[in-house]
Amino acid sequence: MRAIILLLAMGMGALAVADEIKQVKVKSWDVGFADAQALVEQVRALASPQGKVTFSPRANKLIVVDLPERLELMDAVVKEHAVPARNIQIRVQFNETGGARRDGMAVGPGGIGGTSQSTGFGQNTVQTLTAGDGGRAFLEVTQEYPQHFVTYFYDYVHHIGITTVQAQWRSVGSRLVIQPRSSGNLVRVRLIPELTFVTPGGPGSVAIERLATEVTAQHGQSIQIGGLAQDQEFSSRFFMGFDSGGRSRRLNITLTPYIMEIGRPPGAPGAPPGPPPRP
C-alpha cells in the first residue's frame, strides 16, 4: 500500500514538474548602456531553478528562459537599470582656404620673360551627421587627390605595415571615420583617418588606426580639428585636396556634437536642443 502511495506521489510530482517546464517562455531585453555584468547578476538572482540567463555582447541583449511570473519580476529590474541608447548629431563646419598659381610667358621691351599670378580663396560649408551612441559616421575629406598623392599614400600604407592592400591604386580619396560616445553631457569623439581607393579590381578602403585621435566636448561645444598630431607630414596631405580648376585647398574642420535622446526630437521637453540653424 505504501509503495502505491509513493508511486502516486512521484507521478504527481513529475506531472507538476512537466507542467512547469511547459510554461517557461523566452524574453529578451536591450541592455542599452547599463552595466551588463551587474544586470545579469541581478536577473540571475530572480531566476527559478530551471531558468536560464544569458547575455549576448554582440547584440547587447539579455536573453532569459524562465517562468512567466519570474520574467515579470526581471522585466521591472531591467527597465529600471537599462539606459536607452542615444543618437549623436554632429554639426561639421568646413573652412576651406587655398589658392592657385598660374605661370606663363610675356613679351615686353626687354624681351621674353616669365609671369606668375597667384589667387587666394576661402569658403565655409556645413554638414550634419548622425550616428548612434557608440556607432560611426563617415565624413568625406577629399573626393580625389592628384596622381602624385596616390603614390605617396600607397607607399605610406605599405611602409606602416598594412599589407592587406596589394593591388595598385588608380585613384585615392579620404574620409574621417567618426565614432561618438556620450557620458552624461559629454561626448567623446574618436576620429580615424581612412583612405578610399580604386584598383583594377574595384573600390576599397583602408583605415589608418595608428593615427586615430580622440577629442571630448560638452553637448553643443565646438572643437576645431587641427590635424593628426601623430604624423604631421601625412596630416598635411590628408587634409588637402584640389578642385577641378587645379586650386589646392586646406581644410579646417570644426565639430559640434549634440546629444539627442531616442524618441525625443530636439527641442522637446526634457530633450537637449538641436543644432542652430545653418548660416
Of all helices (H) and strands (E), which one includes residue 259?
strand 248-261
Nearest to 94 by CA among 67, 127, 60: 127
Backbone angles phi, psi at 277, to 5 degrees: -60, 150
Of all helices (H) and strands (E), which one includes residue 78?
helix 68-81
Show pLDDT as tens, one digit a residue, over the chain (279 residues): 555 444 444 554 554 454 445 588 999 998 876 778 888 999 999 999 989 999 988 788 899 999 999 999 999 888 887 766 688 999 998 887 765 444 444 343 433 443 444 455 567 888 899 988 888 899 998 888 988 899 999 999 999 988 777 788 999 999 999 999 888 888 999 999 999 999 998 999 999 999 999 999 999 999 988 667 778 889 888 988 666 666 777 778 899 999 886 434 444 444 555 555 444
Nearest to 215 by CA among 175, 256, 185: 256
> What are the domain boundaries of the chain?
21-81, 86-261
pTM, entire model: 0.61
Q: How far apart are CA 118 and CA 103, in angstroms?
A: 9
Q: 61-66 and 52-56 as β-strands: parallel, antiparallel, unpaired?
A: antiparallel
CATH of domain 21-81: 3.30.1370.120
Integer Rg of the chain from CA: 30
